[in-house]
Chain A
Amino acid sequence: MSTNSIQLAHGGGGLEMNKLIRNLFFKAFDNCILRNEEDAALLNLQGPTAFTTDSFTVSPLFFAGGDIGKLAIAGTVNDLAMMGAEPQYLSLGVIIEEGFPMASLETIVASMASELKKCGAKIVCGDTKVVPKGCADGLFLNTTGVGRIVKPGLSAKRLMPGDAILVSGDIGRHGAAILMAREGLELESGLVSDCATLWGAVEQLLVHPFDIHAMRDATRGGLSAVLNEWAAASDVMIEVDEAAVPVSDEVKGLCELYGFEATDLANEGTFVMALPAAQADGALEVLKRFGHCENAVIIGRVGESPAGRVILHTPWGSNRYLDLPAGELLPRIC
């Protein structure tokens, strides 16, 4: 049997599967809970706990700045971090298409292990399935995570008039990097995804006594989706200064080419935060000291009316709604 690619037997529950799990997954994610090989991981959870799950299907699996493995760890870790929780334990579900190159799987697993090290979380249980060729697009991953709540009370419903809105970095890079990889575009300079684990930055914020009301990583739907969801959930108006929203030249150019808006494009390592305006500069100072968030900036504030809407102020003095992106992101025709 070829060991260069995944065979149906790797999911059959027998020798080949055992070998794959031991030689690849156990080796990369080694920890004592996983090593016990019981039917379920035995955890010692204390106090309020955050619990989240996410499935990852991305095409292509490798893109500038990351791969599906890095995404699967960062995505779940960030969901926990955004609720003020320290990521502790993760599960990993792997669905592999028959014929998937073993070397690619090894690269992806190594990338997951490397991302886990950045936040201290452990993969403590998992599942592997192999499906016949044509039944999956290469590789699907699912990660579920639990984390200890360090700061309770963060919620999309807690935004208050007078809050400042911050973003931790420039927006739209993940969506643009994926588009670039799909379309084989070559840019004048390297556009890479922002894909990264945010717990390190959030942990620094949480040791300070900031009264953070809400945090959210701006994944699918981008900044527009987060702000619209917050405005609706908290029944407030959010106003954004367009000139303050950081967007890289590459993302601006790509948006121009395809007729997209950077605020609609996905991020995988950039988050939005709301806290009282008086504390915003302090929070910025902390964020900017952290490697991944040196471009953090205040982009707007929370008001009262019209409740549920997000208003964008253009640099030339006009206003417009920043609406939710709708449907598939498709390029303009002409």
Chain B
Amino acid sequence: MPNQAINEPDSSLKLKSLYEGFRDAGTIRALAARINSAAQNLSEPLYIMEVCGGHTHTIMKYGLLGLIPDNVKFIHGPGCPVCVMPKERIDQAIALAKMDDVILLTLGDMIRVPGSKGSLAQARASGADVRPLYDPLDALAIARDNPDKTVVFFAIGFETSTPMTAVLLQQAEHAALPNLLFHINHVLVPPAIDAVMAEPATKVNAFIGPAHVSVISGAKIYRRAADVHHTPVVVSGFEPVDVMESILRLVELKNLTESVVDVQYSRAVSEEGNLTAQALVDEYFEVRDSFRWRGLGPIPQSALKLKGKYAHRDAEIHFGGRLPVQEIDDHKACQCGDILRGLANPMDCKVFGRGCTPQTPLGSCMVSSEGACNAYYRYHGVQHVD
């Protein structure tokens, strides 16, 4: 898988195999025709939640909405790790970054997401040492090169990225690097699905299962969604052919009234997943009693924390009383919460594209390259030009 390959500098990447054949125009058109035909037999509209923001972007970026019939709708889910981070956790990251002799490391768009008083990028501009990483293992060299500083890895993401944090922790332990600490914000997909389905007003009656998460955790984690919530789940790859094929399977499963877990992304996902990665995660992490998700509120057993025997690496313990803990809700005008719960579409939000844009975001769904509002802002609303 991609992350594995990055960590093996001697291996030669076969990058072409990542996309070849999965953007074929003829295949996409044929799948669109079959979806439109099969959807005529649907007894009720299909409301598909794509849990993962990556799928939202595939749908918008490749213009797939325009190929889908009206009785197949998409509801964008809480599967963007940046979007679901509550402001108080970002405030903690900023507080850490502003401390003397602390270097704060994190991934991707996290530095752009606003906390209650600005973002990590703004903290960086005012002098805090904040560094976005391409590869979490780069934290080792930074800790080694700065022995007089405390390096804190602000760890974020779902089941996909947790093993990378575990590897980093393992290597920090092996190298006996005393100055590398972790602020753990890893969250779990299945409790988020339960939270979405617990919402009385939800219309969701099918799921596109996350791709990269499932590579690690296996398709087995969606059994509950199929069995308890009676929704079919198709685990899908991120290419347009993947998503179109997954939509077709969901329509067909709905026509057969079958609530099962199906794996379209079989080239990478198995039932059991990556057992080595799972064992590594189990070695270092345990489930938190509760974690407050942005938009979804507190969800029991929905996130991870470091096990007690690694407390010496836990930034939340190390910096204990110095981190802000006040829970902070979103701006009143921001509807990210409803969007993350699957109750609203980005276009329903009154500040979408007006008070809230990628350059001046009110909510994280507009910031992240995996956020639903960002995808709609970038790609949606094209007039017919032929």
Q: Quick check: is B359 within 8 A (CB to CB) of the other chain?
A: yes
Q: Does A319 contact B (CB under 8 A)?
A: yes
Contacts of A327 in B (CB 8 A): 112, 358-359
On chain A, the residues within 8 Å of B32 by CB distance are: 316
Query: What chain A residues lie within 8 Å of B12 (beta carbons)?
Result: 186-188
| Cβ contacts under 8 Å, B5 to chain A | 257
- Of B16, B29, B111, B156, the residue contacting A253 (CB under 8 A) is B16
Contact B61 A320 (CB under 8 A): yes
Q: How far is the CA of A317 from the CA of B33 in the complex (A)?
A: 12
Produce 1/0 per residue, A276-318, CB < 8 A to B: 0000000000000000000000000001011000010111111
Q: Does B54 contact A (CB under 8 A)?
A: yes
In the complex, the chain B residue whose C-beta lies closest to that of A182 is: B134
A186→B11 contact, CB < 8 A: yes
Provide the B153-193 mask, 1 if CB < 8 A to any CB of A, else 0. 00011101100000000000000000000000000000000
Task: Bits for B1-27, please: 1 = Cβ < 8 Å to A, else 0.
Answer: 010011001111111101100010100
**Residues in A whose Cβ lies below 8 Å from that of B61:** 261, 320
Chain A proximity of B32: nearest CB distance (Å): 7
- The 8 Å CB contact of B13, one of A187, A252, A259, A316, is A187
Chain B residues whose C-beta falls within 8 Å of the C-beta of A209 in the assembled complex: none
Given contacts A253-B16, A256-B19, A334-B160, contact A317 B29 (CB under 8 A): yes
Q: Are A318 and B67 in contact (CB under 8 A)?
A: yes
Query: Which residues of B are found within 8 Å of A182, using beta-carbon distances?
Result: 134
Determine if A257 and B2 form an interchain contact, defined as CB atoms under 8 angstroms apart. yes
- Judging by beta carbons under 8 Å apart, are B108 and A331 in contact? yes
Q: A172 to chain B: closest CB distance in Å?
A: 13
Partner of B25, one of A256, A316, A323: A316
Q: Is there a chain A Cβ closer than 8 Å to B132's Cβ?
A: yes
Contact of B135 with A by CB under 8 A: yes
A311 and B13: CB pair below 8 A?
A: no
Contact B109–A256 (Cβ < 8 Å): no
Q: Which of A253, A257, A314 contacts B62 (CB 8 A)?
A: A314
Q: Write the A258-273 contact mask toward B (1 if CB under 8 angstroms, else 0).
A: 0101000000000000
Min CB distance A222 to B, Å, is 15
**Known pairs A188-B14, A256-B19; A317 contacts B67 (CB<8 A):** yes
- A333 close to B82 (CB less than 8 A): yes
A252-B16, A320-B62, A332-B370 known; A311+B28 contact, CB < 8 A: no
State whether the Cβ of A210 lies closer than 8 Å to any Cβ in chain B.
no
Question: Which A residues lie within 8 Å of B385 (CB)?
Answer: 237, 239, 303, 311, 313, 319
**Complex: A116 Cα to B181 Cα, angstroms:** 50
Verify if B81 is at the interface (C-beta below 8 Å from A): yes
| Residue from A186, A316, A330 within 8 A of B369 (CB atoms) | A330
Please state if A334 and B157 are interface contacts (CB–CB under 8 Å). yes
CB of A13 within 8 Å of the partner chain: no
Segment among B251-259, B277-285, B374-382 that sits at the interface with chain A: B374-382
How far apart sit A312 and B14, CA to CA, in the bound complex (Å)? Answer: 28
Give chain A interface residues in 203-254, CB to chain B under 8 Å: 237, 239, 243, 249-250, 252-254
Cβ B15 vs Cβ A316 within 8 A:
no
Chain A contact residue count (CB 8 A cutoff): 41
* Mask of B58-101 contacts with A, CB within 8 angstroms, 1/0: 00111111110000000000000110000000000000000000
Given contacts A257-B2, A319-B63, A330-B369, contact A252 B19 (CB under 8 A): yes
Please state if A334 and B67 are interface contacts (CB–CB under 8 Å).
Answer: no
Q: How far is the CB of A232 from chain B (nearest CB, A)?
A: 15
Q: How far is the CA of A277 from the CA of B294 in the complex (A)?
A: 51
Q: Which residues of B contact A328 (CB under 8 A)?
A: 111, 132
Q: Within 8 Å of chain B (Cβ to Cβ): is A183?
A: yes
Q: Does B39 contact A (CB under 8 A)?
A: no
Chain A residue nearest to B383 (CB atoms) is A306
Known: A306-B383, A314-B62. A326 touches B370 (CB 8 A): no
Contact A185 B212 (CB under 8 A): no
Min Cβ gap A285→B in Å is 28
Knowing A253-B13, A253-B15, A256-B19 are in contact, say whether A333-B381 is a contact too (CB < 8 A): no
Question: Closest chain A residue to B379 by CB distance?
Answer: A320
Cβ-defined contact, A185 with B134, below 8 A: no
**B370 x A253 contact (CB < 8 A):** no
In whole Å, how far is A169's beta carbon from the nearest beta carbon of chain B? Answer: 20
Specify which chain A residues have a CB less than 8 angstroms from the CB of B54 in the assembled complex. Answer: 259, 332, 334
Interchain CB contact under 8 A, A330 and B132: yes
Given known pairs A326-B359, A327-B112, A328-B132, the reply for A334 and B15 (CB within 8 Å) is: no
Counting CB contacts under 8 A, is B384 at the interface?
yes
Which residues of chain B from 300 to 329 have any CB-CB distance to chain A below 8 Å in the complex? Answer: none
B residues contacting A by CB (< 8 A) are 2, 5-6, 9-16, 18-19, 23, 25, 28-29, 32, 52, 54, 60-67, 81-82, 107-112, 132, 134-135, 156-158, 160-161, 210, 212-213, 240, 358-359, 369-370, 377-385
9 tightest Cβ-Cβ pairs between the two chains A and B: A253-B15, A318-B63, A315-B25, A316-B28, A334-B160, A318-B66, A256-B18, A319-B382, A320-B379
